[in-house]
Amino acid sequence: MHVTEKLPHDPDAAFLETYDPAEFDRPSVAVDVVVVTVDAGALHALLVRRREAPQRGRWALPGGFVRIEESLDRAAGRVLRDKAGLRGLYLEQLYTFGAPARDPRTRVISVTYLALIDDTRLHQVADARAGDVVLARLRVPWPGQAGGPVLAYVADTKLPTAFDHAAIIGMAVKRLRGKLDYAPISAELLPERFTLRDLQDIHEAIRGHEVNKDSFRRRLLATGWLLPTGEREADVAYRPAELYRLAPPTTKETNDG
């Protein structure tokens, strides 16, 4: 077969013939972050109102362009700080969306991230920027490990979402459902101390159906992800449950670019 291209990142003649950066456009690279929380038993995501064309008035994920000298993870963290005033969240790369026409103006490739936060904290920043940002309730029209776009609601009104962001949110939900049993991510959606019931509510909101209480308790306690604090919840009209916190990670996860 005739090889018309060369190795990646290889500035030889055959490459320049096709890809001379002075002659050919490069795509823009953005990061978009799906900030997810669970509130009142339902998945929610943070959306920002677009004030300029195109897609003016539609609701978009917080995002921004990647600076030439910053890593993707740092870009996502910066967007989170600057657009939502949030820092220190659980953050992981989700998927990269690059359909040529996903942005009507120019080629924008978006590296998307998933961020998790508890609803109290997210409500604070959302309220502080009311009008600009909203916590949209997510309606996930597919079960299990399937995928697809997700609908965003405020009260019973469906929000118009910008670009392919409904599909990006769908990918976030799919990732959440897929990782729930294999990584201690659900606790990232709760404050530092929480009960097993809190955690079960998170799981049920993400899965979209109820789970068995007994085996849920057994399974999670057996993972070693949780540490009992010896404290109990207060001011409840029933026997107070023990408060747990997330155990420190066991030096496993790495990976970035």
Footprint of DNA on this chain (CB under 7 A)? 195-197, 211-219, 222, 232, 234-242
Q: Least distance from C-beta 246 to DNA, angstroms?
A: 16
Q: Which residue has the tokens 């970035």?
A: 256
Amino acid at 130: A
Q: How far apart are CA 24 and CA 131, in angstroms?
A: 40
Q: Does 208 bind a second copy (CB under 8 A)?
A: no
Select from 67-75, 191-199, 219-227, 238-246 the region that touches a second copy (CB under 8 A). 67-75
19 sits near a second copy (criterion: CB under 8 A): yes
Using CB under 8 A, which of 156, 157, 182, 215 touches a second copy? Answer: 182
At 96, give phi and psi (nearest 5°): -115, 125
- State residue 158 phi and psi, 5-degree precision: -80, 130
As given in the structure block, the two tokens for residue 2 are 């005739």
Instruction: Give the interface size with a second copy as a residue count (CB under 8 A).
Output: 78
Q: Which residues in 79-108 contact a second copy (CB under 8 A)?
A: 79, 81-83, 85, 93, 95-100, 102-103, 105-108
Query: By CB under 8 A, is residue 150 in contact with a second copy?
Result: no
Name the minimum Å distance from CB 60 to a second copy: 6
Q: Which among a second copy, DNA, none contacts residue 22 (Cβ within 5 to 8 A by kind)?
A: none
Choose the contact partner of 236 out of DNA, a second copy, none; CB within 5 to 8 A by kind. DNA
The listed partner (DNA, a second copy, none) that binds 98, CB under 5 to 8 Å by sort, is a second copy
**CA nearest to 185, candidates 86, 43, 90:** 90
- For residue 135, CA distances in Å to 42, 61, 74, 152, 155 come to 11, 11, 24, 9, 10
Per rule CB under 8 A, is residue 60 in the interface with a second copy? yes
- Of 212, 59, 216, residue with least CA distance to 138: 59
How many angstroms separate the CA atoms of 220 and 241, rounded?
Answer: 15
- Binding span for a second copy by CB under 8 A among 162-170, 214-222, 224-232, 240-248: 162-170
255 binds a second copy (CB under 8 A): yes
Q: Does 51 bind a second copy (CB under 8 A)?
A: yes
Asked if 249 is part of the footprint of a second copy (rule: CB under 8 A), the reply reads: no
> Binds 237, which of DNA, a second copy, none (CB < 5 to 8 A, cut-off by type)?
DNA
Residue pair 190/202 in contact by the 8 Å Cβ criterion: yes
Burial class of residue 186, CB neighbours in 10 A (0-12, 13-18, 19+):
buried
DSSP state of 160: P
